[in-house]
Amino acid sequence: MRKNSWLQKLLYGVMAVLGAYIMYKSGALLAACNQMQKKTEAGNVQQSAEDTAMRTWSLAYTAAVEGKKLSGWLSTWFGQVVPVLSYVAEEEGGQALAQSETEAEKESETATETQTGTVAQMQTETAAETQSGTAAKMQTETETQTAAEDDAIQEVSVGSIFSQALPLLTDFSYLVTNYYTVDEDTAADAELIDAEKLLGMDLSLEQDSSVPQILIYHTHSQEAFADSAEGEVGDTVVGMGEILADELRGYGYNVIHDTGVYDLVDGVLDRSAAYDYAREAIEAILEENPTIEVLIDLHRDGVEGDREDFVTEIDGEAVSRIMFFNGLSRNAGGEALTWLPNEYLTENLAFSLQLQVLANVEYPGFTRKIYLQAERYNLHLRARSLLIEAGTQLNTVEEEKNAMAPVANLIRQILE
């Protein structure tokens, strides 16, 4: 009986060794094949085994894959053999380890075999099934939200500039000294130039590019610059008007540029009645285009002084300085000129002051002080009327051209 028991133990030992050897050699052969090597390099073999009941079935294997040390040959054997058995189970399709793949992976593989889309398209479609909405829709929503946020920031920015300026501008003496030049033939008081009221006015214009909304014209069309070529309209204030019109069109506005000549009579320069001639022509244009709500009379100023006082720099370019101009329809005593009524005087003043305050922040040094004169200068034709002195006879054509983009940007921000 003892002999048999000893032989039986020996036989079991031989069988165990042979079984281990066979399994080890099988695993080595499998590991040597290309497909097995690819799976091993990708980390799929060990991951498959870890995701199955094999992980909890063998303490030795569990310790091995978790990086723990477990003494004994079982730990070493399972650490090498079990991943191979996992692969065998997957290939045969009859073991529990083969079912450890996730549903998402199976669906992806099936879809790849049955559809003709590219891999990138399939990934997009799979993601779309697990998320709310398609990627394209999400991108569109994001862009829309970003655009809305940018608009809000723009509005807050302009409003913030006005709010920050108000504490100083409510002091009438400070306001007039730093923002205006008052001609000796007229007068301005705190009731007329009320910064809080003027900056608080809403001058925004609902954009509609399908109809004319802005009119640019030139009461003094013959005004030219230091290096203007004789007879070249593009080198005159009219040429600057076309550049300004194009800049505003770039922002989506429908702009009419009137190039009519109102300061020549029988070929002779005569500015004594230019505003009367211009008014008749502009009224006719407005009658034909009642949707126009912004009038810009673009001039070039005539000055005395050093050229350096009338040029600045913006983004590295030499730019002519500009000046906003208002007619108050008031004499030096502050009395209204009843024959030159202007129902839009407050709006005119608001337009120029808002532009001036904004310019001081966006383009410091770009604008000269707003000039206040006694007459009306056809600013009564629309609430949003501007008279702009763009540069002087001392500035070059290039400096004038460079000034038009900043002017357009300022106007656009106030109208938005």
Residues 337 and 374: beta-carbon distance below 8 Å: yes
* Residue 394 pLDDT: 96
Task: Please choose, from the candidates 81, 21, 34, the residue with its C-alpha nearest in 3D space to the C-alpha of residue 54.
Answer: 81
Name the pLDDT band for 33 (thresholds 50, 70, 90): low
Q: Which of 13-22, 33-42, 159-168 has the highest mean pLDDT?
A: 159-168
Name the pLDDT band for 185 (thresholds 50, 70, 90): very high
Residue 379 CA: distances (Å) to CA of 195, 226, 373: 20, 28, 12
Task: Please choose, from the candidates 87, 63, 89, the residue with its C-alpha nearest in 3D space to the C-alpha of residue 74.
Answer: 63
d(CA 397, CA 225): 6
- The pTM of this model reads 0.64
Name the pLDDT band for 310 (thresholds 50, 70, 90): very high
Residue 293 has pLDDT above 90, yes or no: yes
Task: Please choose, from the candidates 200, 203, 197, 172, the residue with its C-alpha nearest in 3D space to the C-alpha of residue 187.
Answer: 172
Tokens of 166: 């108000």
* Residue 267 pLDDT: 86
* Residue 176 pLDDT: 96
Round the average pLDDT of the chain to a whole number and report it.
78
DSSP state of 225: -
Residue type, 92: E
Tokens of 266: 């029988």
Which residues, in sequence order, are bridge partners of residue 389? 299, 323
* Residue 25 pLDDT: 62
Query: In the chain, what is the straight-line distance between the N-terminal and C-terminal CA atoms, in Å?
Result: 107
Which residues, in sequence order, are bridge partners of residue 268? 265
Residues 228 and 379: beta-carbon distance below 8 Å: no
Task: Please choose, from the candidates 381, 359, 363, 360, the residue with its C-alpha nearest in 3D space to the C-alpha of residue 297.
Answer: 381
Largest CA distance in the chain: 144
Radius of gyration over alpha carbons of the chain, in Å? 42
Which residues, in sequence order, are bridge partners of residue 132? none
Residue 93 has pLDDT above 80, yes or no: no
Task: Residue 157: count other Cβ atoms within 10 Å of its Cβ.
Answer: 13
